[in-house]
A and B are shown apart, each in its own frame.
Chain A
Amino acid sequence: MRIIFKTDYMQDLRPWKDGYQLSLYLLLIAAAIVAPFVFDAFFLGELTNVLIWALAGLGLMVLTGHTGQASLGHAAFLALGCYANIILVEAGVPFLIAFPLAGIITGLVGMVIAIPALRLHGIYLAIATMAMSILADDIIVLTEHWTGGVGGKYAPPVNVFGIDVDRWGTPKAFYYLVLGVTILVTLGYINLLRSPLGRSFIAVRDSEVSAQAMGIDVARTKAISFGISCAVTGLAGALMGLFAGAFNNETFSVVISIQLLMMIVIGGLGSIHGAFFGAIIIGFLPQFLSISKEWVGALVGGSNVAIPGLEFGIFGMILIMFILFEPMGIYGRWLKIRTWFELFPFYRKDMFKRQKSYLKTERLR
């Protein structure tokens, strides 16, 4: 049983509670740094993929998890970041400038889009962003001159501080690039959450009227949240494009938008951990399925049958289970398990019980 005694306000201001927790996170980062020397190129690629998804998840988490605005259209911003980055690089802008610029462009576009979208609430915002994501597909085809349309584009190799970074040629360098970006974004995210802006996001999520009464400009806060969210998603999109090597209008379809939202729900809405947990599920589920399919195939003695849609089917079932039994996602479950160990043997089942309330309409006649 571990009890944290608080003697100083700084303990609540620091991102970690005590030295024990800090050392755990440092250990995790150390493990991530040595990973390329332990794993083979294939697994490293998978790990890179997970980190990119986590980055995209962090982007959506700002908007959906912390500001409470569900977006089913973030694939459009992934696409925007990806194309902006590649077009800039092709125009001769060094990657180190093009990459953050791609994020900033995506963020600004996101903010502009947010202005009309701000009038929409809940489900209406979700459907509007979804429509946007569907339209993005067509816009890419229509602006063929820049985007290469259906034919798509190929990601050129990029150069960071004189080191060639390429998904296939130098997977280790690419991994470190992604890891570095992810860590920086995560640190920035943590900083925002412990500052007034992060708290105003949560305020807007939980009660718009009282946020307003506390002096928070709701529309402005939502627009900023949209902007940050889209900027981070744009960065993830740029990395995703480099990772995929080739992409066209279908790479960032509306299905990716949906998948991204589901990912952070499984991981746990409203927590940074959730984005990472969700990305791990998304990244490793296909591998896990193909391995278990082989295993079942060997067991039954039949051949290796391909079942189309299996991945999404399983994914859907996992999601339903989580929403029904653990709405706080994997992070929520993780908190419970941790608390159980920390308080052993005093854990009570109702410690995390949520109050259920009757639904009251938001519509008025």
Chain B
Amino acid sequence: MSLLELENVTLKFGGLTAVDNLSFSVEEGEVFAIVGPNGAGKSTVFNLISRFYTPVTGSIRFDGHDLLKEKSSRVADFGVARTFQNIELFEQATVLENLLVGRHRHRGSNFLTELFFTPSVRKQELQSRHFVEEIIDFLDLQAYREKRIAGLPYGVRKVVEVARALATDPKLLLLDEPASGLSVEETTDMRWWIDDIRRQMGITVLMVEHDMGLVSGVSDRVLAMADGARLALGTPTEVQSDPAVIEAYLGKAS
């Protein structure tokens, strides 16, 4: 069984069909990329999986759970973490605090134990910190640990967002344009990180990305979308040579 399965999902905003009868599945352990021109509905697919939107028809299953039956905040509990296209970090908190929020789904304490900061809460906090420090090491964020997000450069913020998603210890990581706005070196770093996330941590990655170099470099399979519908699905080379994809990007040769 696939880790994530979308089946015949359709979403409409008023008269506009944002996602049109879309089906695909992501296998455990792969890097799966979604490409497509602007407005193709790529980020909308992410928002559907995060349960920010509810589709008109279709089903979304993750790891044996029917996501459509769950609230948005439960999706993370099943092991889905994500980043955002326009960076949604906790601006007034430090990098460390941001990552610790990622540990929220492993919270075993409740209001009362936290109010008295019982030894069990202390132990949990130390464990969280330990986990988070490993991610800080992994993504080379040591220098920014105590810095507030509000003062950080764009490239670092992008990395912090990935780090925060990893801090949830996910099974599936959704990356929404991880390389947009990054310099060439930063994009190369991101590429190695995505590779390591899959190989070392064993996390399945689903990403939306425009940078075809990055996409063909790391992904096993690629889904090309246009106008909310599926254009092509296959290996990066197959998709790149698909006539429908070329047409969607370059227009029809007349």
Contact = CB atoms under 8 A, between A and B. Distances in A.
Task: Decide if A and B touch, CB cutoff 8 A.
Answer: yes
A254 to B, nearest CB: 29
Interface in A161-175: none
Interface residues of B, number: 44
B15 to A, nearest CB: 14
Nearest to B74: A215
Nearest to B130: A9
**Chain A interface mostly:** helix
A13 interface: yes
B63 to A, nearest CB: 15
Contacts of A214: 76, 81, 101-102, 104-105, 164, 168
Contacts of A210: 84, 88-90, 164
A306 B125 CA distance: 56
A303 interface: no
A207 B122 CA distance: 26
Contact of A196 (B72, B74, B103, B164): B103
A205 B92 contact: yes
A90 to B, nearest CB: 30
B90 A203 contact: yes
Contacts of A13: 122, 125-126, 129
Given A191-B114, A212-B50, A216-B104, A12 B89 contact: no
A79 interface: no
A206 interface: yes
B249 interface: no
A209 B84 contact: yes
Contacts of B96: 12
A202 B117 contact: no
Contacts of B22: none
A210 B102 CA distance: 10
A274 to B, nearest CB: 13
Contacts of B105: 214-215
Contacts of A198: 114
Contacts of A212: 50, 52, 72-73, 76
Interface string B101-119: 1111101010100111100
Contacts of A199: 93, 97, 100-101, 104
A211 to B, nearest CB: 7
Interface residues of A, number: 34
A355 B89 CA distance: 14
Interface in B118-176: 121-122, 125-126, 129-130, 133, 150-151, 164, 168
Residue among B81, B84, B88, B116 with most chain A CB within 10 A: B88
A264 to B, nearest CB: 15
Contacts of A12: 96, 129
A353 B148 CA distance: 11
Residue among B71, B92, B102, B150 with most chain A CB within 10 A: B92
**Chain B interface mostly:** helix
Contacts of A215: 73-77, 104-105, 168
Given A9-B126, A202-B90, A197 B114 contact: yes
B91 interface: yes
A203 B75 CA distance: 17
Interface in A197-253: 197-200, 202-203, 205-207, 209-218, 224
A217 B89 contact: no
A195 interface: yes
A353 B174 CA distance: 33
Nearest to B127: A9
Contacts of A345: none
A112 interface: no
Nearest to B100: A199
A188 interface: yes
Contacts of B92: 202, 205-206, 270
A197 B101 contact: no
A221 to B, nearest CB: 9
A206 B91 contact: yes
B151 A353 contact: yes
Contacts of A195: 109, 114, 117, 121, 125
B82 interface: yes
Interface of A: 9-10, 12-13, 188, 191-192, 194-200, 202-203, 205-207, 209-218, 224, 270, 353-355
9 contacts: A188-B115, A194-B117, A195-B117, A198-B114, A199-B104, A202-B90, A205-B90, A212-B73, A270-B92
Given A206-B93, A214-B168, 16 more contacts: A9-B126, A10-B126, A191-B114, A192-B115, A195-B117, A206-B92, A207-B89, A210-B90, A210-B164, A212-B50, A212-B52, A212-B72, A213-B76, A215-B73, A215-B104, A354-B150
